[in-house]
Amino acid sequence: MAENQYTEDNIRSLDWKEHIRLRPGMYIGKLGDGAAADDGIYILVKEVIDNCIDEFVMGNGKRVEVKVKDGTVSVRDYGRGIPLGKVVEVVSRMNTGGKYDSKAFKKAVGLNGVGTKAVNALSSHFQVYAVREGQKKSASFSMGNLVSETELEATTEQNGTYVEFVPDEAVFKKFVYKTPYLEKMMWNYCYLNRGLSIYFNGEKFQSKDGLKDLLENNMDGDPLYPIVHLEDEDIEVAFTHGRTYGEDYYSFVNGQHTTQGGTHQSAFRESVAKVIRDFYNKNYEASDIRQSIVAAISVKVIEPVFESQTKTKLGSLEVEPGGKSMRAFVNDFLKDKLDNYLHRNPGVAETIEKKIKQAERERKELAGIRKIARDRSKKASVHNKKLRDCRIHLTDLKDPRREETTLFITEGDSASGSITKSRDVNTQAVFSLRGKPLNVYGLTKKVVYENEEFNLVQAALDIEEELDNLRYNRIVIATDADVDGMHIRMLLLTFFLQFFPDLVKRNHVYVLQTPLFRVRNKKKTIYCYSEEERRNAIQELGKSPEITRFKGLGEISPDEFVHFIGADIRLEPVLLSKEASIDSILSYFMGKNTQERQDFIIENLRVEKDEAGEAQEEISEQEVA
């Protein structure tokens, strides 16, 4: 057998754009199609806006204009503008930028001079121009290659920088920007930069009270007491207790939303429990103190160290190289500010202690039930019967594929069997429901342990003690596209929203989109997800193609299913409307029948005929969602 040759011919040197396009994950994390908030197309937007924010922080430009339409993104700031002689280099030469000078950008979001270059390399169209003191310089690129540039020209435009780009569809396949994710991004920038105005597609975003505004706009229902808002140099904290289960955190470093937390968030969780224990002089359990807490923390760090280029988790142990530890920094701040606040606001202090004692009572009441539930889940052999597990989990911190981990929750053995045979055993797990789940709206968490199905779901996800133990990044509800399937979907969503709302808020819960029709002839097969796609497929194939209406997931063979849960998977994220609280949503859909809901059903009920001519009644899925 011939040996593999290893010579000078095997050695390659890639230029900057080739390397980014070959290994995009190193620069922007996962690619995705826009279904998740941390998909690459949103990172591209963030990388461009980050530069505008750094300008604002340095006192230049209070207005940023962002437009996203049909996949084209444009961002215009009114800062100082890129130095005109370096416009091309700043967006196309690695390790080139103004942020290496710590005096100019002491606590900037991006320090490596990579972000805008990655956007350029991963865009089919990229345009940039800068304006300084009546002169303008422009350049256009495609996939990182310079297409054209202009000489300096006179202009009456205000100083600043404009960037326009279109993500390359060869990299980001079938991508769609989802407005709620972009709006959340704009709001976060404004919460962290009071005085900044962002105009997103013409709508103005601005915050007066920073993290206090963030909690007020994102809390579900009224807080138990007025939001505690504390500030000092390089740190801002806001928190209260809500009326739902779990802990909910929003953490930021130098204006960057660290969605996976990090050392600053850990320091806050530890310190808030310690300070409250010391204030009451009682050794309360930390979990009881933090039960139902909703908190936001923002810190500014010199030369922050993140665990990846996408900066979703802070790794810095110190607030500056050789300086105070992050733990000591946060603890000293809370020990001073929070202790003083509680002394000055005895009503708030009393409410907090009542909440802690209530959590303590509930925990003790559930202790016995939890033990019985654990024993029951072991006897049911959750990992062998109900759950077909995968080999990699979200908690496997060193595995690069952990973000791909997915749990499909299916109805019935036939659907779970098809997905099980089609799945990627490394990253995709399957949980099979038995019958319709219980409607848990208005019930206490006791029911989670007493109900076998939900007890086993909880055990499979490993979220009984802490959401940070979550074993899968994506929880995908995979039910039939009929009335029964939609009902099961609503019952599952009620379970998550009632007892684990943070799973939804943190964008872990999705609905699997599967085709309604298969249209094929001898040469080609087209899977259609809507009536419109079916009509287009019939027109494309012509000559009376064979049309199949999938009435359930179990009718889709494993050989076909592999297309729908693989690289081309279509997931619809479960997003909460900013205007509606969880309680109002659940009350409307899952509470007692109301005239309002009856009217909704009547208005949206439609009768369709399948290919056999049989009438089928169903409610528009899009309307319900």
pLDDT above 90 coverage of the chain, percent: 42
Claim to verify: residue 149 and residue 88 sit in the same structural domain: yes
Rounded Cα distance, 132 and 421, in Å: 60
Claim to verify: residue 269 and residue 333 sit in the same structural domain: yes
Nearest Cα to 297, choosing from 270, 247, 261? 261
- Is residue 1 situated within a structural domain? no
**What per-residue confidence (pLDDT) applies to 618?**
41
Give me the chain's average pLDDT, please. Answer: 84
- Is residue 307 situated within a structural domain? yes
Nearest Cα to 328, choosing from 282, 274, 380, 267? 267
Average pLDDT value for residue range 466-470: 83
**Cα angle 355, 359, 362; round to 5:** 140
- Is residue 11 situated within a structural domain? no
Question: If DSSP codes are grouped into helix, strand and coil, which group holds residue 243?
Answer: coil
Are 309 and 381 spatial neighbours (Cβ–Cβ below 8 Å)? no
Decide which of 59 and 312 is more confident: 59
Q: How much is the pTM? A: 0.78
- Number of domains the chain is built from: 5
Kindly report which listed range (112-121, 282-291, 439-448, 598-607) carries the lowest average pLDDT score: 598-607
- Is residue 471 situated within a structural domain? yes
pLDDT tens sequence across 225-260: 999 999 998 899 999 998 877 788 999 988 888 888
* 179, two tokens: 């407005």
Q: Is 557 left (phi over 0), alpha (psi -120 to 50) or beta?
A: beta
- Is residue 80 situated within a structural domain? yes
Say which CATH number the domain at 301 has.
Answer: 3.30.230.10
**What per-residue confidence (pLDDT) applies to 609?**
44
Q: pLDDT class for 585, splitting at 50, 70, 90? A: confident
Is the pLDDT confidence value at 541 over 50? Answer: yes
Is the pLDDT confidence value at 607 over 60? Answer: no
Claim to verify: residue 306 and residue 352 sit in the same structural domain: yes
pLDDT tens sequence across 452-467: 888 889 889 988 777 8
Is the pLDDT confidence value at 486 over 80? Answer: yes
Claim to verify: residue 249 and residue 183 sit in the same structural domain: no
Is the pLDDT confidence value at 372 over 90? Answer: no
Nearest Cα to 467, choosing from 265, 297, 625, 308? 265
Claim to verify: residue 186 and residue 122 sit in the same structural domain: yes
**What per-residue confidence (pLDDT) applies to 113?**
52
Q: pLDDT class for 102, splitting at 50, 70, 90? A: very low
Claim to verify: residue 394 and residue 309 sit in the same structural domain: no
- Is residue 48 situated within a structural domain? yes
Average pLDDT value for residue range 493-521: 89
Decide which of 379 and 516 is more confident: 516
**What per-residue confidence (pLDDT) applies to 612?**
40
Kindly report which listed range (119-133, 135-149, 250-264) carries the lowest average pLDDT score: 250-264
Average pLDDT value for residue range 97-104: 50
Say which CATH number the domain at 454 has.
Answer: 3.40.50.670
Rounded Cα distance, 95 and 170, in Å: 26
Decide which of 305 and 76 is more confident: 76
- Which amino acid type is present at position 350? E
Claim to verify: residue 562 and residue 452 sit in the same structural domain: yes
Claim to verify: residue 420 and residue 475 sit in the same structural domain: yes
Claim to verify: residue 152 and residue 288 sit in the same structural domain: no
Residue 135 phi/psi, 5-degree rounding, is: -125, 150
* 150, two tokens: 């202009």
pLDDT tens sequence across 609-618: 444 444 444 4
- Give the highest mean pLDDT range of 190-204, 472-486, 499-513: 190-204
End-of-domain residue from the set 357, 388, 422: 357
Q: Do you know the residue count of the chain? A: 625
Is the pLDDT confidence value at 357 over 50? Answer: yes
Q: pLDDT class for 514, splitting at 50, 70, 90? A: confident
Average pLDDT value for residue range 357-385: 71
Question: If DSSP codes are grouped into helix, strand and coil, which group holds residue 390?
Answer: coil
Range of the domain at 402: 380-514+552-591
Q: pLDDT class for 368, splitting at 50, 70, 90? A: confident
- Give the highest mean pLDDT range of 82-86, 226-230, 401-405: 226-230
